Amino acid sequence: MSMDITFLGTGSAYPSPCRGASALVLRTEGESWLFDCGEGTQTQLMRSCLKASKITKVFISHLHGDHLFGLPGLLCTISLNSNPQPDQPAPCVDIYGPRGLRRFLRVALELSSSQLLFPYVVHELEPADEQCPAEGRLNPALTASSDTLHPQERPGTSVRLDQHTDCYHLIDDKQFVVKAFKLYHRVPSFGFSVEEQERPGRLNTELLKELGLKPGPLYGRLKNGESVTLESGRVLSAGEVLEPPLKGRKVCVLGDCSAPLGEGFKRACQGADVLVHEATLEDGQQEKAVEHGHSTPSMAAAAALACGAQTLVLHHFSQRYKPQTLRRDGDDDVTQLKRQAELVLQGSGMEVILAEDFLTLPIAFKKNLTQ
């Protein structure tokens, strides 16, 4: 199964002609998952090779406008361009994000008399007080929503922190395990880890032939982990002929932060193939970055080292750092951010990539299949 990430917006604070506001799409075969949806995400999507209609899940890291203001508009445009079949109910779009997101979306859609041609559901993550300074905490009066749903809204869940793992468990299905974890920012912010389920290892066909078993349905049963009885009467368990399971790929996307909190980050992101981390300002501006709840390249590199990631992708750059291709004399140099992260990672073997709008990054299967 192919898997890739496309960056639709790599700028912080607001969309500019040089960098869109935060948004990226994780694509697997047949489905696209959107992470953050800053203003203008729908036009960025139209300029990309991706199809907005393929979006089945949306993850919002926090409620700052540069990560959220594009969502009501995007949902309306997907609806306008959809082509519902009378005999086929439209699939539901699952939306995950901090408490308050349900009300934001409901009010935006209701006040604008927006009807959607598909159902949606909002699953809210309950933040902890430690995720932001006191003035950034969500106001319960603002984030509470009534029991009256928008006509296309389906009842969502309220996801609490699992004290045992320090993570929020969002999805655990046949294909993926998705978790969220706490970050520190000016308002409660979250990171997400998406991990493919392990796949059964290869069948040792040579051994099977030695045992006199020819290719056929019994191979399928062994591959599924079942035991089979040979003609000799011997019971052959799958474990005897299956190689170790193949570890799935793991992609982690962190929202705005000046630090991850607790054990959840390391647990969820351990061994990530790709870690996407913000680097709003250069190392020399660390004090200012931290004051605003943001990170520098060195801070992002330290986080990537802590979880043993293979590749670190930096994004969410201050609009002062123009993409290298658009840089003019006197403009700040974005490539210094890459060098600053690389300095911290020297000798680790970790690759650093600077994200730019419309960059697509394929995520290959792990080289060491049994790792």
> Residue 74 CB, nearest distance to Zn ion (Å)?
17
> Residue 280 CB, nearest distance to Zn ion (Å)?
7
Q: What are the catalytic residues?
A: 66
Q: Can you give the binding site for Zn ion, defined by CB under 5 A?
A: 12, 64, 66, 256
C-beta closer to Zn ion: residue 195 or 256:
256
C-beta closer to Zn ion: residue 109 or 276:
276
> Residue 61 CB, nearest distance to Zn ion (Å)?
8
C-beta closer to Zn ion: residue 19 or 64:
64
C-beta closer to Zn ion: residue 257 or 275:
257
What secondary structure, in 3-state letters, does the chain show?
CCEEEEEEECECCCCCCCCCECEEEEEECCEEEEECCCCCHHHHHHHCCCCHHHEEEEECCCCCHHHCCCHHHHHHHHHHCCCCECCECCCCEEEEEECCHHHHHHHHHHHCCCCCCCCEEEEEECCCHHHCCHHHCCCHHHHCCCCCCCCCEECCCEECCECCCCEEEEEECCCEEEEEEEEECCCCEEEEEEEECCECCCECHHHHHHCCCCCCHHHHHHHCCCCEECCCCCEECHHHHECCCECCCEEEEECCCCEECCCHHHHHHCCCCEEEEECCCCHHHHHHHHHCCCCCHHHHHHHHHHCCCCEEEEECECCCCCCHHHCCCCCCCCHHHHHHHHHHHCCCCCEEEECCCCCEEECCCCCCCCC
> Residue 10 CB, nearest distance to Zn ion (Å)?
11
